[in-house]
Structure 1
Amino acid sequence: MEWSAMGQARPTVERLQLGLALTRLRNQANRSQGEAADAIGRTGGRLSQVENGKGGLGAEELSKLLDFYGVRGPERETVLALGAAARRRQPRRGYIDNLPEPFQRMAELQTAAREIHWYECGVIPGLVQSPDYVRAIMAVANSVYWEDSEEETSERVQFRLEHQRRVLEASTPKHIWVIFTEDSLRHTIGDESIMRGQVLHLLQLLERHPSLSIQIVPDSVVNNPALGGGMVVLDFVQSTPVTFAPVLHGPSTYYDQPEDIEPMRRTFNRVRELALSRSDTRALLIAKVQEDA
């Protein structure tokens, strides 16, 4: 296991995910950190390290803690597997999240982040999609990315809308940069009325969230180094940054090593330089609404 100069395990994606999952389960069980630590014979400080992604628990300790929280079934198996991944000593470049419910862990990472840098090419990023755009894009995916199921589609819609609320309306406002290419506004999802509503939604978000910066890369830009791709960079208060590239289907691969994080951060910063400013983006969106009126 990698250790920092302070004697704590180095934060990794797996340890961050484990800590966030255990925090959520403890809160759901209505238990204090002290009570949970006593249940497994640990100090509150040690459990705090684990919940903050700076340590792991042995298999027996983790099993006992899940017993204390009353966690059973598939969720228990997932957390135990996550604990095993967090204890891994072998260094690795990327972590592929193959465990069940990966989108919940992705959402928890974004909720815990202090800063979010999100770029997409050709599609509106999920964090700023309007409710109608979310429903339309999930309807398109139904029977393509999963078996035809209105129930699953509805669950995915509700999950994304709740995820947006948790991130955008966090008690401590986050600094969020969302950048996308201008053609994202022309690729119709649903119908033209939904796309017009999406533009209005972006304008409303800019008014309601001063710490949210939405920027558009105009069609006229040349030499966009991220053309055809997407990326998310998450920064935390006391933990290593985490990056990943959004995928259409399948598990996400997370990166927490400097040799992967820094190129993605440089790429994002370059795209931000090429994009319109927040105010110029707002002007473009207003012009788009007037054009479509």
Structure 2
Amino acid sequence: MRMDKRGKAKWRRVGEELTALRQRKGLKQTQLAPDINVVPAHISAWEHGKRGMTEDQALRLDEALDANGRFHRVWKNANAPKQLPEWYERVPGIERKVSELREYQCLLFPGLIQTPDYARVAIQDALPWCSPAEVARMVESRMQRQEILYKEHPPLVSMVVEASVLNRVMGDRTIMAGQLESLLALVEEGRLRFQSMPSEPQRHPGSAGPFCVYTFPDAPALASAEYAGGEVLMDDLEKVQQRMTIFGFLQADALSLDATAELVSTIRKRIDE
């Protein structure tokens, strides 16, 4: 049964990418199907994650969609041995559909804004039993998630972190400097609203741990909470609303957007001293 669930998870990931590329190309399923020598129902089954495809079919789809190897890489990653943990496969699909994303982190920069070097060190530290190849796949998956920040109509992204996140060196000072510079660029470009908690807050509304709230234009909101084994999704209305309330408390107690940007800039300059 676990094998079946895992298989369907990777089919969904490939299917979501196929849907996105087909729509970007402006093709209907009926228009794409003849190029692959399948019926439209086959395309629909792929896109809904109901069946797998061969590598030859993935290559032909990549060519028909002018994907320049992108779709084939997604297929290869999904079918690689010892594929990504299941929560790595679910999160990108959710994030691509959100209209608003709220995230609180108390230990690390959120994965959605991590640099490749920062992500690699964070994953290696948290999952020391993973091989270099597995770490590389997880880093690649994390970088692909960041594409939503550069969409024509990106979601509204709001993040709050504890002040210790800004000062905790991951790997070395060079990696940390790069992470801080990347964050400042994202803020200056208006791609996210980023706030830090004070260094000595009087209240601790985030003491239950990291979480995200996902809001959609045409579906009920979801929330997720991180734990040692991964991430759990919640669709219970009361639990989702509770996370929204906590996030509101965090924003109210956090430094302002401008004060946070100034703090990040100061910490970045301090690294060079």
Q: TM-score, normalised by structure 1?
A: 0.67
**How far apart in 1 are the matches of 2:13 and 2:172?**
38
**CA-to-partner distance for each residue in 1:68-95, whole Å, 9 max, x for gaps?**
xx69xxx9xx9xxxxxxxxxxxxxxxxx
Deviates more, 1:231-240 or 1:179-188: 179-188
- State the match for 2:166 in structure 1: 185
Q: Structure 2 vs 1, CA of residues 120 and 100 (structure 1 numbering), >3 Å: closer, same or farther?
A: closer
Q: Does 1:277 align with 2:253?
A: no
In structure 2, what is the equivalent of residue 225 of structure 1?
205
1:136 deviates by 1.7
- CA–CA separation in structure 2 for the residues paired with 1:157 and 1:19: 20
Q: Tell me the secondary structure at the aligned position of residue 255 of structure 2.
A: coil
Structure 2: how far apart are the matches of 1:121 and 1:215?
Answer: 12
Give the corresponding residue for 2:178: 197
Alpha-carbon distance between aligned partners in 1 of 2:98 and 2:217, rounded to the nearest angstrom? 7
Conservation of the 8 A alpha-carbon contact between 2:118 and 2:179: yes
Counterpart CA distance in 1 for 2:136 and 2:12 is: 29
Stretches of structure 1 lacking an aligned partner (at least 5 in a row): 1-16, 42-46, 79-98
Q: CA RMSD in A?
A: 3.5
Query: Aligned partners of 1:167, 1:27: CA distance in 2, in Å?
Result: 12
Partner secondary structure for residue 203 of structure 2: coil
Superposition pairs for residues 1-293 of structure 1, below 5 Å? 22-26=15-19, 32-34=28-30, 39-40=40-41, 62=50, 101-144=86-129, 146=130, 149-164=131-146, 166-208=147-189, 210-227=190-207, 229-250=209-230, 252-292=231-271, 293=273
Higher relative contact order (CA 8 A, sep 6+): 1
Checking the alignment, whether the CA contact within 8 Å between 1:122 and 1:182 is kept in structure 2 is no
The SS at the match of 2:151 is coil
Range that drifts further, 186-195 or 212-221: 186-195
User: What are the Cα deviations for residues 200-223 of structure 1, in whole angstroms up to 9, with x where unaligned?
Assistant: 221111112x14101101112111
Q: Does the aligned pair in 1 maintain the 2:118–2:175 contact within 8 Å?
A: yes
Q: CA deviation at 1:247?
A: 3.1
Q: CA deviation at 1:227?
A: 2.2
User: Secondary structure at 1:143's aligned position in 2?
Assistant: coil
Code of the residue aligned with 2:225 in structure 1: it is A
Letter in 2 for 1:128: I
Counterpart secondary structure, 1:173: coil
User: In 2, distance between residues paired with 1:18 and 1:258?
Assistant: 28
Alpha-carbon distance in 2 for matches of 1:217, 1:163: 25
Tell me which amino acid in the other structure corresponds to 2:17: R
Deviation of 1:121 after TM superposition, in Å, equals: 0.5
Identity %: 24
Q: CA 1:239–1:268 in structure 2 vs 1: closer, same or farther (change >3 Å)? A: same
CA distance in structure 1 between the partners assigned to 2:157 and 2:101 by the alignment: 5
Confirm or deny: 8 A CA contact 2:211 2:223 kept in the other structure.
yes
Q: Which deviations, in whole Å up to 9, do the C-alpha atoms of 1:99-146 show, x marking residues without a partner?
A: 9643122111112111110100121111111222112212324534x3
Flag the 1:201–1:39 CA change in 2: closer, same or farther, 3 A: closer
**Shift in CA distance, 129/20, structure 1 to aligned 2, threshold 3 Å:** closer
How far residue 289 of structure 1 moved from its aligned partner, in angstroms, is: 2.2
Give the C-alpha shift of residue 195 in structure 1.
1.8
Q: How has the CA–CA distance of structure 1 residues 24 and 198 changed in structure 2, closer, same or farther, with 3 Å as cutoff?
A: closer
3-state SS, counterpart of residue 172 of structure 1:
coil
Residue aligned with 1:178, SS: strand
Q: Distance in 2 between matches of 1:172 and 1:127?
A: 17
Whether contact under 8 Å (2:166, 2:264) holds in the other structure is: no
Equivalent-residue separation in structure 1 for 2:173 and 2:264 (angstroms): 15
